[in-house]
Structure 1
Amino acid sequence: MSTSVNIVAISRADAPLIATEEQLVAALQAVEGLELESGLLMEVPASRVEREAEGPAYSVYIAAASWERGGVEDARGALGLLDGARSLGFDLNVVPAELANDEKKLLIMDVDSTLIRQEVIDELAAAAGRGAEVAEVTERAMRGELDFEASLRERVAALAGLEESVIDEVASKVLYSPGATKLVEVFLAAGHEVCVVSGGFVQVLSPLAGYLNLSKARANVLDVIEGKLTGKVTGEVITGEVKKESLKEWAKEFDIKSSQTIAVGDGANDVLMILEAELGVAFNAKTALLEVADAQINTLRLDAVRHFAGL
């Protein structure tokens, strides 16, 4: 019995050479058990959109295929042996074919370094004169070397005494990742839901989510008293577990099958959410996330996620 899959090969920004369509097809046809049915290489131009960072052009090859030797995970293992990143300049992603059907989908994303380019807490810390110190802790937390909640509280403590107005100043300078606007527009226009869940802060996220008309947004709340940050967060801390549960909660609320969920993130705090989704996507990610993700994008174009859903 064969398994229907889609091959979504996305060029890497760090690749010294990018394979031609003929070279890609030849490499894929050499994989025993994989039968290509149709395919197309597309060149996507560079992205320059208001409120977004500039994004590079990239190439994407999309092919419908049948896998004759097991399920999707088996196909991923077989294509992994090609080492497409090194030999072809492409990440060779294997996606369940049903993700490209017309059923309603949930796209859930991390925010800092995924939906947006910055790590907001690092920007706030810089305004408080603690930028380098906090950025180092953030980097270690995203690599999975530190407990996220404990490290978050440590970093937020460095913001004590900061004027509340600085939050708005930082928020005004935030840039969306290249292609973020297009990605959200395409998913919403197709009748899908787009949600974000962040280890950052609702005071920054709310206007960002509103601008994109996101379906749902969830983040930590910075405690403010008399116009100054106290160095604490109020309420529930958005941990990796909360991110996973948010995916499940919103899929149920919007009546979306688990087989139609896509999660996108970049750091260790996204691992549980990535594992929960039908397709977990590592976006220019840390090693801790790359090791568990189903697919990866290694170019600075968030809109490349749409190819996994046939959009």
Structure 2
Amino acid sequence: MTSNVTAVSYGLKVTPTGLERLRSTLATHGAQVLSESASGDDRYQVRVLDLALHDATAAGLAALRHAVAEAAVPGFDTALVPAALRAASRKLLIMDVDSTLIQQEVIELLAAYAGKREEVAAVTEAAMRGELDFAQSLHARVAVLAGLPADVVHSVRNEVKLSLGAAELVAAFKAAGHTVAVVSGGFNQILEPIAADLGLDYWQANELEIIDGALTGKVLGAVVDRAAKVKYLREWAAAEDIALEHTVAVGDGANDLDMLGAAGIGVAFNAKPAVRAVADAAVNMPHLDAVRHIAGV
């Protein structure tokens, strides 16, 4: 079974030595290079190799991804992407928010106003490594916010910074006619203006309860957790009539794993080790717009 797959290498420094090692690994595993091109800018470099892969089964592609990862040299990463995904006329990009679309963890910014930032950060880190139940950990972290004036939400909005290349990534997908969504274990009150500014098609997060101008330390409704994220991926793809094989999911924590696994390609963005170990691809540099090169946008 022969099929076309594209190897997309990207990094701050894509070296000739690294590329030669990549080509050797591909050849050893029966992948034939059909064409090769270079792009990028003054921030990072990109090299695209179109391949004919003799074993294009899921197992064959997984084995090749493992071999490429094992042979990687410091400085750049390589994503192996089905050519059909890159060529799809309509795609869905779905992203996590905290530490992915934006640089910070919003719960930690809020907790700082309660004098609990370090305590909450430790719980967040454990939850993102998959050591704690996400919903339970979220309720525990939000509880420390009880009594804070609602104005802190506005203050935190002003502290939030998009990840480098985030706006460019969204703009590129939108300009090409694709759909862009985000789903977050964070909070709607912070996400709403970001979603509006970026022109996102879909977005969903948790809702902080506010009564009489103060946070109650609770969230309203069901928590947006690992299961909810993959649910929204499937729902939004179906609503747009986009096959799951033509979706791209990006995240950094354990609660993103199901979403990354269900998408056509799952990308770990500066992620925890447990996420990098199972994702289809990894971006280990601060430029989120590298995802557009992976997706062929």
Q: TM-score, normalised by structure 1?
A: 0.90
Q: Deviations over 1:166-219 (max 9, x none)?
A: 101111111000001111011011111100000000000000110000001100
CA offsets per residue over residues 89-128 of structure 1, 9 Å max, x none?
Answer: 3222111000111421111000000000000000000111
CA root-mean-square deviation: 1.8
Instruction: Find 1:180's aligned residue among 145, 149, 166.
Output: 166
> Are the structure 2 counterparts of residues 28 and 215 from structure 1 closer, same or farther at C-alpha, using a change threshold of 3 Å?
same
1:84: how far off? 6.0
Q: In the aligned structure 1, how far is the partner of 2:64 from the partner of 2:201?
A: 37
Is 1:196–2:182 an aligned residue pair? yes
Deviations 1:133-174 (A, max 9, x none): 001000000000000000000000000011100101111111
Quick one: structure 1 residues 145 and 31, their matched pair in 2 at CA, closer, same or farther if it must change by over 3 Å?
A: same
Cα deviation per residue 1:216-236 (whole Å; 9 max; x = unaligned)? 110000000111000000112
Choose which of 196, 201, 218 in structure 2 pairs with 1:215.
201
Which amino acid in the other structure matches residue 152 of structure 2?
A: V
Residue 20 in structure 1 maps to residue 16 in structure 2: yes
> Equivalent of 1:157, from 143, 151, 154?
143
- 1:31 is matched with 28
Matched ranges for 1:254-269 at <5 A: 254-269=240-255
Give, in whole Å, the separation in 2 of the partners of 1:218 and 1:299: 26
Q: Kindly tell me: are residues 82 and 219 of structure 1, through their superposed partners in 2, closer, same or farther at Cα, counting changes over 3 Å?
A: closer
Q: Given residue 8 of structure 2, which amino acid in structure 1 is its aligned partner?
A: V
Q: Does 1:4 align with 2:4?
A: yes
The CA distance in 1 between the partners of 2:278 and 2:22, in whole Å, is: 27
CA distance in 2, matches of 1:32, 1:117: 38
Q: Which amino acid aligns with 1:23?
A: E
Percent identity over the alignment?
46
- 1:302 aligned counterpart, secondary structure: coil
**In structure 2, the residue corresponding to 1:87 is in which secondary structure?**
coil
- 26-35 vs 263-272, which deviates more? 26-35
Q: Distance in 1 between matches of 2:68 and 2:164?
A: 29
Distance 2:267 2:29 in 1: 26
- Cα separation, 1, equivalents of 2:101 and 2:61: 29
Q: How many residue pairs get matched?
A: 296
Structure 1 unaligned spans of 5+? 46-56
Aligned partners of 1:246, 1:178: CA distance in 2, in Å? 25
2:275 to 289, 294, 303: 289
- In the other structure, the counterpart of 1:253 is 239
User: Would the alpha carbon gap of residues 110 and 194 (structure 1) be closer, same or farther in structure 2, given more than 3 Å must change?
Assistant: same
Residue 113 (structure 2) aligns with = 127
1:42 to 14, 39, 42: 39
Distance (whole Å) between structure 2 residues aligned to residue 276 and residue 244 of structure 1: 7
Q: Distance in 2 between matches of 1:2 and 1:235?
A: 48
Given that 1:223 and 1:233 are in contact with CA atoms closer than 8 Å, whether structure 2 keeps it comes out as yes
Structure 2, unmatched stretches of 5+, are none
| C-alpha distance 73-58 of structure 1, shift in aligned 2 (>3 A) | farther
